[in-house]
Amino acid sequence: MILSDELVDYSHRVQNQLTDTELTKSEDACKFPGLPTDMNYILGYHPHGLFCWGAAACFATESVGFSKIFPGLSPSCAILPSTFKMPLLRELMLSLGSISANYDEMRYRLDPTLSGETGNLIVLVVGGMNEMVEGGSGRFTLYINRRYGFCKLALQTGASLIPCLSFGDTKTYGLYIAKRGTFFRRIQDYLYLHLGIPFFLCYGIGLAPFRTPIYVVVGAPIPTERILNPTRDQVAELKARYVESLRNLFNQHKKYFGFGTEELELI
């Protein structure tokens, strides 16, 4: 099944009307007039939020002018593989240019020696479901301490890493947060582990999100050298640079977007 162009355009307009989203570059990123199109990129999007409205608006549609801010790049949002098993939702995600967050598929897109392509930008929500259930009610908690795979993938393909923060994505819905160790949290973790489907309780304006502004800030790229078999130390060193960039990005912009008293929590 293929969705018509008219239906796709309509879904883009509805999405932008539901949330007021703005895409901008950090001061460091503005030093680059444009990202070179002769290489590929992994953009780490944080925090997850409930449905990643900011990521969808900025990188899956033209509602905020991605092609004007990053000309020549082809973005793809990497999403939960189980999403592609759901009728209609699968077609909608494909119409938005999404791909499966599967190692082999992402590596193919990022490695020019495999695909023969450059200028690809894969948007990866690094924290996943674990970050989603930690970030309810507007908290800025990033689930990243155990995440190393995206850095290893960047080194294996020579893709540059781009840090990205979304201020407001966690406020689009109210989310019931079950504390770690509780019965409900164990059910959530079990369903996600065995079915690949997150289970949660949330509320908004009916099924629609609260109309809260979302400010998506993209940082400067972190270049990498292609290493087919990177060591643990090399992966850890790249991740340390990435986390430091995230901290700087948060501290530089939090006061402008209503998070002035918040601290960035990494778990």
Residues 172-198: tens digit of each pLDDT: 777 776 677 788 778 877 877 777 666
Which one is predicted more confidently, 2 or 38? Answer: 38
Tokens coding 119: 């200028």
Place of tokens 């947060």: 177
**In what order do the strands lie in the sheet containing 120-124?**
21-25, 214-218, 160-167, 41-46, 120-124, 74-79, 99-100
Q: How confident is the model at residue 20 (pLDDT cuts 50, 70, 90)?
A: low
Mean pLDDT of 28-51: 84
Does residue 4 surpass a pLDDT of 60? no
Does residue 60 surpass a pLDDT of 70? yes
pLDDT at position 260 is 81
DSSP letter assigned to residue 256 = G
Distance of alpha carbon 27 from alpha carbon 25, whole angstroms: 7
Q: What is the mean pLDDT of the chain?
A: 83
Least confident of 14-18, 23-27, 238-242: 14-18
Tokens coding 223: 């270049």
Mean pLDDT of 256-265: 84
The backbone region for 98, taken as left when phi is positive above 0, alpha when psi lies in -120 to 50, beta otherwise, is beta
Per-residue b or e along 207-227, where b marks 16 or more CB atoms closer than 10 Å to that residue's CB: eebeebebbbbbbbbbebeeb
Maximum distance among all Cα pairs of the chain, rounded to whole angstroms? 51
Least confident of 93-107, 144-158, 214-228: 93-107
Which one is predicted more confidently, 128 or 173? Answer: 128
Q: How confident is the model at residue 18 (pLDDT cuts 50, 70, 90)?
A: low
pLDDT at position 92 is 76
CA-closest candidate to residue 47, choices 162, 146, 170: 170
Which one is predicted more confidently, 210 or 14? Answer: 210
pLDDT at position 206 is 67
Distance of alpha carbon 135 from alpha carbon 143, whole angstroms: 9
Per the omega criterion (within 30 degrees of 0), is the bond before 221 cis? no
Alpha helices in 135-262 (DSSP H): 149-157, 183-195, 232-253
Which one is predicted more confidently, 126 or 11? Answer: 126
Per-residue pLDDT of 216-240, as tens digits, reads: 999 999 999 999 999 999 999 999 9
pLDDT at position 1 is 40
Which one is predicted more confidently, 150 or 183? Answer: 150
Q: Which residues contact 122 (CB under 8 A, 6 or more apart)?
A: 40, 41, 42, 43, 75, 76, 77, 78, 99, 106, 109, 110, 159
Q: With pLDDT > 70 as the criterion, what percentage of the chain qualifies?
A: 82
Q: How confident is the model at residue 12 (pLDDT cuts 50, 70, 90)?
A: low
Mean pLDDT of 35-64: 89
Could you tell me the pTM of the whole model?
A: 0.84
Which one is predicted more confidently, 136 or 91? Answer: 91
Q: How confident is the model at residue 31 (pLDDT cuts 50, 70, 90)?
A: low
Q: Which residues contact 161 (CB under 8 A, 6 or more apart)?
A: 41, 42, 44, 150, 151, 154, 221, 222, 224, 238, 242
Place of tokens 């495999």: 114
